[in-house]
Amino acid sequence: MKPLKFIVIIPARYASTRFPAKPLALLGGKPVIERVYEQVKGVVERVVVATDDERIYQAVEAFGGEVVMTSTEHRSGTDRCWEAYQKVGQQYDVVINVQGDEPFIAHSQLRAIMACFEDEATDIATLVKPFAEEDGLAALENPNSPKVVLDAASRAIYFSRSVIPYLRGVERSEWLKEHTFYKHIGMYAFRADVLREITALPQSTLEKAESLEQLRWLENGYKIGVGISDVETVGIDTPEDLERAEEFLKTRKG
């Protein structure tokens, strides 16, 4: 089988309810979006930022990155990725969608998601991290941290904001000790033709119920391969997260 050609697309919006202008916020003296770009560039040769704002466009050009302007009307980063992919002017086998607020994404995580496509049956790939016992029950039950159940071939069976599976006959306080639960890490990769197809799909029943777009893909029969990572990253959703990221950056440098 010939080697697959990968491209990373980083969707970056200016508007954010919890943290406006987040991609341009400074982390260790550099914009967050530049930190993400640098991390990814070390693994995949072609990296493109997809934005809907002139300020982000100019910032990416200023640090020498590749950037394309996309519509302000997209409902998701997946839709933005597809428009950006159409504009890059070159064919790739797999499009990796990296969140623009993950400045510490690890090279091992990128390689894990890329490795999922060694299975020709994989349409889409994503990542999970096992919950550790020390994370505690509150982390497991947090609805903002979706859980994933895998089959024997490490493909996703279901994603949920609820704790899955339910351990019948086991005290909840013992669940993390008795079973390996998987936390979803929101990075995706798509075969290029699959990316085109899924952006044309209407919202599904399960997607609306859980507000998780990956359920639309499962409901429509796409096979989602899952890479397992033990790396804990520091995503940035709020100004408080940026402060934590600054501390993490200092620790990492040290």
Would you state the structure tokens that stand for residue 223, as one six-digit string?
């096979």
Q: What is the CATH number of domain 107-111+119-186+193-228?
A: 3.90.550.10
The whole-number average pLDDT for the span 136-149 is: 95
Q: Which residue ranges make up each domain of the chain?
A: 1-105, 107-111+119-186+193-228
| pLDDT (0 to 100) of residue 253 | 60
Q: Is the pLDDT of residue 167 over 60?
A: yes
CATH superfamily of 1-105: Spore Coat Polysaccharide Biosynthesis Protein SpsA; Chain A (3.90.550.10)
Asked if 131 contacts 182 with a C-beta cutoff of 8 angstroms, the reply is yes
Tell me the pLDDT tens digit for each residue of 22-48: 999 999 999 999 999 999 998 998 999
Determine the Cα–Cα distance for residues 160 and 183; give it in Å rounded to an integer: 10
The whole-number average pLDDT for the span 81-100 is: 95
Single-letter residue type at 68: V
Alpha helices for the chain (secondary structure H): 32-41, 54-62, 77-87, 107-115, 137-141, 175-178, 192-198, 205-210, 214-219, 239-253
Q: Which residues of 182-215 are buried (b: 16+ CB within 10 A; e: fewer)?
A: bbbbbbbbbbbebbebbbeeeeeebbeebebbbb
